[in-house]
Structure 1
Amino acid sequence: MKTMKLRVLLLASAFALTACGSPEAATEPAAQPGGVNITANQNRVHADKVDAIAALVPAAIRARGTLVVGTTGNGTPPLSFRADDDKTVIGVEPDVASLVADVLGLKLDLQATSWENLFLSVDNGQYDSGFSNITVTEERKDKYDFATYRKDTIAFEVRNDKNTTVREAKDIAGLTIGVGAGTNQEQILLRWDQQNKSAGLAPVKFQYYQATSDYYLALQSGRIDAYVGPNPTSAYHVAVEGKTKIVGSVSGGGTIEADIAAMTKKGNGLVNALQQALDTVIKNGRYAEVLKRWNLTSEGLPASEINPQGLPRK
């Protein structure tokens, strides 16, 4: 937590500040680098209640008056992370969850937790839903229902002075690439690298570090040519740091389209309300405002879908 706070504060002190528009602009705190507000005073985008959709919420949740949402609050910006007070959970995931709660006429009860506990707590009913960059998979659909709200995208990030574009396997031949071990993006790169070697092209040199900040230090120093990670992380870094750029992207499923979704316990009756609430804010523009706040417009979906085809079973 202290490391996250230090990193965010260092970024905040290093760059010029610009305004971030909102309906309450007059009370907006001093804007942060790249127009990203990292303070506890988020002035979130809000939506109006829709009675017909609110009526779809299971009676027990309506009676309670809150939507209990789990999220990994100690994660990496801009998904779900701690504000500069080191306490308040902010990011695109809390913002989307807040919009859904508004449409359902419920107060958002945001619970920060670990990735492992997130699934357990939705499964046992402690949390109504999870909003935490959760990819739809066929295996997860056995136990959970999903309502989609973002594309799952992986980005290739390089320094601004690099003349590199990545569209297919051959574009990474011979590069030194930083990637997290055991991740979807590593699996995609390994497949691409094998294709290249079979075609007689130069192999990739893979570099592994312990933290995202380590990858960015390696990228800036030239120890790696590119960093491959979740698009939201790279998009945030590009907007705030200003020294790197995204030069290509691929679905989190590689050749298979992948989606990020709100997760709820299978068969608990909540998924229809979640999907219709998401569809409402997608159509009325509030969703687009949230994505723009976090430089994630490219991950927008035209509509929310319940339980689409997920990544295949392992």
Structure 2
Amino acid sequence: MKEFVVRKSLLAGLVLVLAACGTAESEPAAVSGLNVSLGPDQNRVTAARDDKIAAKVPEKFRSKGELVVGGDTGTAPPLRFYATDDRTVIGVETDIAFLVADVLGLKPRLETSSWENLFVGIDSGAVDVGLSNITVTEARKEKYDFATYRLDTLAFEAKKGGTWKVKEPKDVAGKVIAVTSGTNQEKILVDWSAQNVAAGLKATDIKYFQKSSDYYLALQSGRIDAYLGPNPTAAYHAAASGETEVIGTFSGGASVQGKIAVTTLKGNGLVVPVQEALNQLIANGKYAEVLKRWGLADEAVPASEINPPGLPKTS
């Protein structure tokens, strides 16, 4: 119940921002320069079916006529989150999922789960593709195929008005910072803390949260100093709430550029048509429309790649 109340509180805050612009919550409105709606009626960007690409979808997926798209329920705006009805999943990840399904001639069916269960769903075949801010890593490439569609940028988000900035590992020494377990940002933070301890500095006190409502509550109450997560989420929340700010941004790969990708079970035959669908969407401008809609134009990729070099394995 607490999750419901907190999530409603976050959306209510966003709706107040919309109302300040003189529009109703169900209508498209400017949120920090964005023309988006928080209601269930999204009026999404659409694309036409491409018969040539659709024909490459394996028969077992084509025969059921739908693309089952899995995502993490803990992701916050503008990536993947609930509309004001607390039921409809919206956001940039959802918009891209709908576009890809359009090109493949399939109806998207959205499934939500925890981050860990998202991968369980892909492994079992209950989910056809994962589209939930998933970073390509060398470890994940052993089990999954990837078709990239966005750059991976991380951000430290803290209460607004402080002087603390994060530019390098030593800046998180002794701080209490939250992450979501099983993510590449967790690995980065753990590595940074180890580097600091080896250099004689204090370790970072790492806290784990799986839901955005929980870490924002912890940030508001002062139980954590910052949250390290996706830059789009942090920037959107900071602009909408007016209570937090981004105090440092980094590539999701730390020393290498991380990339976000549609994720499928290795060898299931979906990665090629998905990649071709993404490249068609990039070429015809539909992809750019969606990123612009959610304020993520600076995370665009020039082309979708299949299984590019990923973040290195943990030693």
Equivalent-residue separation in structure 2 for 1:221 and 1:120 (angstroms): 33
Q: How many pairs were matched up?
A: 304
Measured after TM superposition, the shift of residue 85 of structure 1 is 0.9
Measured after TM superposition, the shift of residue 155 of structure 1 is 0.4
- Give the corresponding residue for 2:27: 29
Equivalent-residue separation in structure 2 for 1:120 and 1:191 (angstroms): 26
Query: Superposition pairs for residues 152-191 of structure 1, below 5 Å?
Result: 152-163=152-163, 165-172=165-172, 176-180=175-179, 182=181, 184-191=184-191
Equivalent-residue separation in structure 2 for 1:181 and 1:95 (angstroms): 23
Larger mean Cα displacement after TM superposition, 112-121 or 102-111: 112-121
> Where does structure 1 lack aligned partners over 5 or more consecutive residues?
20-27
Change (3 A) 1:221 1:124: closer
Any idea what the Cα deviations from partners look like across 1:14-36, whole Å, max 9, x if unmatched? Answer: 324478xxxxxxxx725374444
- Give the corresponding residue for 1:126: 126
Change (3 A) 1:205 1:171: closer
Larger mean Cα displacement after TM superposition, 139-148 or 5-14: 5-14
- Give the corresponding residue for 2:292: 292
Letter in 2 for 1:147: A
Letter in 1 for 2:97: A
Any idea what the Cα deviations from partners look like across 1:131-165, whole Å, max 9, x if unmatched? Answer: 12222222222222111112222102244434555
Query: Superposition pairs for residues 1-314 of structure 1, below 5 Å?
Result: 2-17=4-19, 29=27, 31=29, 33-34=31-32, 35=34, 36-73=36-73, 75-163=75-163, 165-172=165-172, 176-180=175-179, 182=181, 184-195=184-195, 203=202, 206=205, 208=207, 210=209, 212-213=212-213, 215-216=215-216, 219=219, 226-314=226-314
Equivalent-residue separation in structure 1 for 2:222 and 2:111 (angstroms): 39
SS state of the match for residue 245, structure 1? strand
Instruction: Answer whether contact 1:178 1:228 (CA < 8 A) is retained.
Output: yes
Measured after TM superposition, the shift of residue 291 of structure 1 is 2.0
Measured after TM superposition, the shift of residue 217 of structure 1 is 5.2
Instruction: Answer whether contact 1:11 1:33 (CA < 8 A) is retained.
Output: no
Equivalent-residue separation in structure 1 for 2:207 and 2:60 (angstroms): 47
Equivalent-residue separation in structure 2 for 1:18 and 1:287 (angstroms): 30
Change (3 A) 1:99 1:18: farther
Equivalent-residue separation in structure 1 for 2:184 and 2:135 (angstroms): 11
- Give the corresponding residue for 1:25: none
Equivalent-residue separation in structure 2 for 1:14 and 1:60 (angstroms): 46
Equivalent-residue separation in structure 2 for 1:32 and 1:7 (angstroms): 19
Equivalent-residue separation in structure 2 for 1:298 and 1:192 (angstroms): 26
Equivalent-residue separation in structure 1 for 2:121 and 2:199 (angstroms): 47
Measured after TM superposition, the shift of residue 274 of structure 1 is 0.4
> Where does structure 2 lack aligned partners over 5 or more consecutive residues?
none
SS state of the match for residue 9, structure 2? helix
RMSD of equivalent CA atoms: 3.0
Measured after TM superposition, the shift of residue 190 of structure 1 is 4.4
Any idea what the Cα deviations from partners look like across 1:205-234, whole Å, max 9, x if unmatched? Answer: 646375644544565577765432222320
Change (3 A) 1:285 1:165: farther
Larger mean Cα displacement after TM superposition, 220-229 or 269-278: 220-229
Larger mean Cα displacement after TM superposition, 153-162 or 79-88: 153-162
Larger mean Cα displacement after TM superposition, 34-43 or 1-10: 1-10
Measured after TM superposition, the shift of residue 77 of structure 1 is 2.6
Equivalent-residue separation in structure 2 for 1:299 and 1:216 (angstroms): 24
- State the TM-score, normalized to the length of structure 1: 0.82
SS state of the match for residue 121, structure 1? helix
Any idea what the Cα deviations from partners look like across 1:38-97, whole Å, max 9, x if unmatched? Answer: 211111111222232222212332333222222224543332222111211112211111
